[in-house]
Amino acid sequence: MTVSFDSAHRQWVAHRETALDYRVSILDQLRVSRDVETPSRVFAVVDSIVYVRKRAAIDDFLQELGVPHRVLSLDSGEDAKGLPTVDRIWRELDAWEMGTTGVLIAIGGGALLDTAGFAASLYLGGLRWWRMPTTLNALTDAGVAPEVQINFANGKNRLRAKHPASETFLHLPFLQGLPKSQFRQGAAELLKVAIVRDSLLFDLLGTEWPVVLSEEFQGTTPRGFRAAHSIIELAISGMLDELTREPFPSRINFGHTLSPPWEMPITDERPLRHGDAVNLDMAMSVILATQRGYLTPDQRDLIFQVMRWLGLPLWHKLLTFPGALDAGLHNAVLERGGALWLTVPAGIGSATHINDCDSSELRAAEQELHALANSGP
Ligand SMILES: NC(=O)c1ccc[n+]([C@@H]2O[C@H](COP(=O)([O-])OP(=O)(O)OC[C@H]3O[C@@H](n4cnc5c(N)ncnc54)[C@H](O)[C@@H]3O)[C@@H](O)[C@H]2O)c1
């Protein structure tokens, strides 16, 4: 930190570079390695579904840390990702006199990790925390990102903090028994990384998805093992490389420009799940990219073929609801310094941004998307 005084303007300027240090480790056994500093106490916030399914393993893990611990099991999901849940966590931390030498451990899907991480970011000025993702989305995206985000006043992820978990432990057995629909949600985020920066990952998803899905990423055959580990390693390397770059815009925002309002109750229609919303945004962006000559029609069709292969939706009637597309435009411009920064693919494995897209171009893109989605196999 440097402080300088400008006597002419009677002004101090304080400056410090913000460090961003965190570690993501794959754990075959649910046990912390020796080089992780043992905390004085542990407050674990665990997704209630995960706690029912994996209680013995989680309790053993906490017990083995050898320090006082407490478990708060919480119902999770998009509806619970807000201030009331954060308030509940703060009150429990306070009642247990957590202090600043302990560690909060969050175990669950992306919504639980975001909520617990957000609570940690503000408690006593920022509590150290670790996380263990338990869905495919959380393992490769939400659970490795530096930002923690919660919903506020019908705004998706409107409250945010940059407070990465100092340690992230990826334990693939958590995925055993995860509903297939939830794997699909994670597939959208994998495809996002593949399209904008990694054609090898794109090819892997396009060939190996049925194997890794049927084996639930557990690698029970040599082929499934290689594919699961390659997909996860490529996706996380790509995510971390993009996420830790400054400044905005990042290519990794692909699929996250128009879609945030579609995950909130903005129409009578049931809000979309995260991966489905992201994929619809990506499909719209693919149409726009093709219209502007960044993708050939063959590349567009190949991307749509892989989306279908992964079980992802190409179109949804919510896109036709009055205001749904405009809400996406408005929200992005509001949150991104007055410009849209819509990421669109430029070939497969590369991307660019467009800022001059308006409602009428979006509506035309939606109609073309609808026609193409109906014409596919
Ligand atoms: N912070 C970030 O940068 C970032 C990035 C991407 C996504 N996200 C957020 O992640 C959230 C989506 O996360 P998600 O897809 O993991 O969904 P989720 O956390 O909402 O979980 C979906 C459901 O699966 C259950 N679940 C979790 N683990 C399970 C397991 N192992 N077995 C069975 N059920 C399990 C949960 O209880 C929940 O009911 C969204 O809120 C999104 O905004 C955040």
Strands (E), the chain: 2-6, 11-15, 23-26, 42-47, 69-74, 103-108, 129-133, 147-152, 155-162, 167-170, 342-345, 351-354
**Closest C-alpha to ligand 1, atom 20:** 77
CATH of residue 268's domain is 1.20.1090.10
Half-sphere exposure of 359 (CA within 13 A, CB side): 9
Domain annotation covers residue 161: yes
Q: What is the pLDDT of residues 113-143, one digit of tens each?
A: 999 999 999 999 999 999 999 999 999 999 9
Q: What is the pLDDT of residue 268?
A: 80
My answer on whether 188 and 225 are in the same domain is yes
Say if residue 375's pLDDT is above 90.
no
My answer on whether 284 and 347 are in the same domain is yes
**Closest C-alpha to ligand 1, atom 21:** 109
> What average pLDDT does the structure give for the chain?
95
Contact 243, 253 (CB under 8 A): no
Ligand 1 and 185: CB distance under 6 A: yes
The domain tally of the chain equals 2
Grade residue 267 by pLDDT with cuts at 50, 70 and 90: confident
Q: What is the pLDDT of residues 32-65, one digit of tens each?
A: 888 888 899 999 999 999 999 999 999 999 999 9
Q: What is the pLDDT of residue 32?
A: 87
Say if residue 18's pLDDT is above 80.
no
Domain annotation covers residue 37: yes
Closest to 131 in 3D by CA, of 277, 27, 220: 27
Q: Which ligand 1 atom sits nearest the alpha carbon of residue 175?
A: 31
**Which of these three, 151, 175, 199, is where a domain ends?**
175
My answer on whether 359 and 215 are in the same domain is yes
Among 51, 129, 135, say which to mutate for ligand 1: greatest number of ligand atoms within 8 Å of CB: 135
Domain annotation covers residue 150: yes
pTM of the prediction?
0.95
Range of the domain at 57: 23-175
Domain annotation covers residue 211: yes
Grade residue 73 by pLDDT with cuts at 50, 70 and 90: very high
My answer on whether 223 and 319 are in the same domain is yes
Say if residue 2's pLDDT is above 90.
yes
Say if residue 269's pLDDT is above 90.
no
Q: What is the pLDDT of residue 244?
A: 78
Domain annotation covers residue 217: yes
